[in-house]
Structure 1
Amino acid sequence: MTGTDTTQIFKDAEADRGYRIKWWASRSAIYGALILWAVICLFPIYWTATTSFKMAPDVMKGNMVPYVDFAPKWKGWESIGLSPKTIGQESTVRAEFLKRFWNSAIVSLTSSALAVALGSLAAYGLSRFSYRFGFMKNSDISFFFLSQLILPPVVLALPFLVLYRELALHDTRIGLILLYTLSVLPIVIWIMKDQFATIPTELEEAALVDGLSIWGAFLTIILPIALPGMVAAFILSLVLTWNEYFFAALLTSTHANTLPVMVASQTGSQGISWWSMAALSFAAILPLIVIGVALERYIIKGMAAGAVK
């Protein structure tokens, strides 16, 4: 082996070592940034969960680490009847919590399902057919739906309050379902229109040649392909309707109150019951966490397909 060959081998080894160092440095930077972002996103959930086990002095001092900064207690969960000590006993507060929980579940699931069903039909029509309503074409109709999100909810407060009293929909689940369906419908149409636009029209043309009708092609060919986008739209609608507070507080009083209203009511003459509010909040967000984890693969497919921008 000549000296030139040895020098070249050393140069190649140095270059390879420099490449590996850069690769590991870039990977470390990327994963470090991702871990930091995950900590930032998950910290509010951690704070809420730990606050439900704190006493008043621990809350005021801002103690954060259980068994290090403070001794965990079941005070927050006792206040809503969900602690190990009170779970087997009768509890008026727990019964009220369960009533609000089922109100939220029924209203959110039903309104989200209706919004996805109606929004998917509207989005499919806007992505496949040409319409003209007066001076409005497809793009104008799509923008009209999307522009409804700009309208502040407080503008609709008085009209809806008067209308619901006249129609006997005040303090009813059906009233909230109708309103929530209308409120998230523009988002569903926006998401599903992009989803359907990524599906080639040749699939429907082939289905029509094979003898299927428009509805048959839509139900058997298009919907299975668009399922990830529908799931993503459903979860987004579910989160928005589950957490909605303004109209739930305005249009309900006794029978149809939802969890956000109950969480906001944890105040009294002694101030805010942070432990009770934290326990209620964590119990309220836990179902959304479970649904998000269970349907994660559909959300990723929907985002990869361009359903969520």
Structure 2
Amino acid sequence: MAMTATSAETAHHTSRSHRTGLALGKVLIYAALIFWAFICLFPIFWTVTTTFKTANNVTQGHILPFIDFWPDWKGLRSLGLSPDTLFEVSTVRDEFLKRFLNSVYASVGASLLAIVIGSIAAYGLCRFDYRFGWMKNRDISFFFLSQLILPPVVLAMPFLVLYKNLVLLDTLTGLILIYTLMVLPIVIWIMRDQFETIPVELEQAALVDGCSVWGAFFRIVLPIALPGMVAAFILSVILCWNEYFFAALLTSSNAKTLPVMVASQTGSQGISWWSMAAISTAAILPLVLIGIFLERYIVKGLTAGAVK
């Protein structure tokens, strides 16, 4: 009996120690995740709060609103977006809205064009056998993806000369074309994985029923691959929206975008931190909304073809 009681007590202590260890492990994991989330989100917090700081608050490193400093409309006022200037005529606000719309037109236009071209290219690489020299389908697909390895600065001079000769400098058309080239490899790769998950038998059945190859593509394949197309479109918009190098290189006044406007908030008096923060907050907000409401499409696009 004594031995039985001792065994039971030992098992109880072991089980209790195991539960304590699991609880401690969970606490450490959540603490690490919270700490990492703080590190990741702090730059966004700093940017948003700096929008409502004065020069003294910025230079003195005040961080917490209502504790370290009292919020002010200085950042939004510099853009003509504060409550006291919103209904007044403001050339700065007109400039900001023009740059914001330029970013929208360039990002959405390039993403739509990339989706159209990339979907057709991905479908061809997925369903038909090609040979270009020694390269076959998989080699061609990898060639497209490998274009992302090339540093943008390598293409600076060729594109500058090309755009000057084609009269595309400082135009939205030129910006849309180069953004399309920039995101096209990602679109092709995502859509190729999407099309590979669709059974070929569905298209064969459509062909038997009298559909042409294009008919099967538009009526059968595209509706099934639509979630993947949405994911590719969202990722393309995000990449184009954040692009700075080509926008700074190939534009000057008419087609300048928000990232370029953010970087231009400097002068003889130094950096206008509040204006830069206000523009950055306006540039971040659309992407935050996209991430919140369309997260499942983004995840689907990133994991496309992972499980078949």
TM beyond 0.5: yes
- In structure 2, the CA distance between the partners of 1:15 and 1:220, relative to structure 1 (3 Å rule), is farther
| 2:197 aligned with 1:198 | yes
| 2:95 aligned with 1:96 | yes
More displaced stretch, 134-143 vs 15-24: 15-24
- 1:294 is matched with 293
More displaced stretch, 140-149 vs 19-28: 19-28
> CA deviation digits over 1:200-249, x for unaligned, max 9?
33433344444443333333333333333323322221122112122212
Counterpart residue identity of residue 128, structure 1: R
Counterpart residue identity of residue 20, structure 2: I
- 1:81 is matched with 80
Q: CA RMSD in A?
A: 2.3
- In structure 2, the CA distance between the partners of 1:271 and 1:99, relative to structure 1 (3 Å rule), is same
- In structure 2, the CA distance between the partners of 1:228 and 1:62, relative to structure 1 (3 Å rule), is farther
- In structure 2, the CA distance between the partners of 1:214 and 1:38, relative to structure 1 (3 Å rule), is farther
> CA deviation digits over 1:52-103, x for unaligned, max 9?
1111222122221111111111111100011111111111100000011001
- In structure 2, the CA distance between the partners of 1:10 and 1:203, relative to structure 1 (3 Å rule), is farther
Q: What secondary structure, in the 3-state scheme, does the structure 1 residue paired with 2:170 have?
A: coil
More displaced stretch, 190-199 vs 270-279: 190-199
> CA deviation digits over 1:247-301, x for unaligned, max 9?
2122222211111111111111011101100000111111111122121121233
Measure, in 2, the Cα distance between the counterparts of 1:159 and 1:45: 36
Counterpart residue identity of residue 54, structure 2: M
- 1:55 is matched with 54
Measure, in 1, the Cα distance between the counterparts of 2:215 and 2:5: 71
Measure, in 2, the Cα distance between the counterparts of 1:62 and 1:157: 38
- 1:114 Cα deviation (Å)? 1.1
Measure, in 1, the Cα distance between the counterparts of 2:292 and 2:44: 15
- 1:42 Cα deviation (Å)? 1.4
Q: What secondary structure, in the 3-state scheme, does the structure 2 residue paired with 1:149 have?
A: helix
| 2:123 aligned with 1:124 | yes
- 1:133 is matched with 132
Q: What secondary structure, in the 3-state scheme, does the structure 1 residue paired with 2:98 have?
A: helix
Is the Cα contact below 8 Å between 1:192 and 1:307 reproduced in 2? no
| 2:247 aligned with 1:248 | yes
- 1:284 is matched with 283
Identity %: 67
Question: Gaps (5+ residues) in structure 2?
Answer: none
- 1:34 Cα deviation (Å)? 2.5
- In structure 2, the CA distance between the partners of 1:220 and 1:37, relative to structure 1 (3 Å rule), is farther
- 2:235 is matched with 236
- 1:155 Cα deviation (Å)? 2.5
- 1:9 Cα deviation (Å)? 5.3
Measure, in 2, the Cα distance between the counterparts of 1:72 and 1:200: 58
Question: Gaps (5+ residues) in structure 1?
Answer: none
| 2:222 aligned with 1:215 | no
- In structure 2, the CA distance between the partners of 1:209 and 1:262, relative to structure 1 (3 Å rule), is same
More displaced stretch, 2-11 vs 12-21: 2-11
Counterpart residue identity of residue 297, structure 2: Y
Measure, in 2, the Cα distance between the counterparts of 1:277 and 1:127: 45
More displaced stretch, 176-185 vs 16-25: 16-25
- 1:112 is matched with 111
- 2:71 is matched with 72
Counterpart residue identity of residue 291, structure 1: I
Measure, in 2, the Cα distance between the counterparts of 1:39 and 1:120: 38
- 1:11 Cα deviation (Å)? 5.3
- 1:134 Cα deviation (Å)? 2.5
Give the structure-1-normalised TM-score: 0.90
Counterpart residue identity of residue 149, structure 1: L
- In structure 2, the CA distance between the partners of 1:286 and 1:19, relative to structure 1 (3 Å rule), is same
- 1:12 Cα deviation (Å)? 5.3
Counterpart residue identity of residue 49, structure 2: T
Counterpart residue identity of residue 142, structure 1: S
Measure, in 2, the Cα distance between the counterparts of 1:226 and 1:23: 42
Is the Cα contact below 8 Å between 1:191 and 1:307 reproduced in 2? no
Measure, in 2, the Cα distance between the counterparts of 1:199 and 1:12: 53
- 1:38 Cα deviation (Å)? 2.0
- 1:39 is matched with 38
- In structure 2, the CA distance between the partners of 1:17 and 1:255, relative to structure 1 (3 Å rule), is same
Counterpart residue identity of residue 260, structure 1: P
Is the Cα contact below 8 Å between 1:76 and 1:279 reproduced in 2? yes
Q: What secondary structure, in the 3-state scheme, does the structure 1 residue paired with 2:111 have?
A: helix
- In structure 2, the CA distance between the partners of 1:9 and 1:209, relative to structure 1 (3 Å rule), is farther
- In structure 2, the CA distance between the partners of 1:198 and 1:6, relative to structure 1 (3 Å rule), is farther
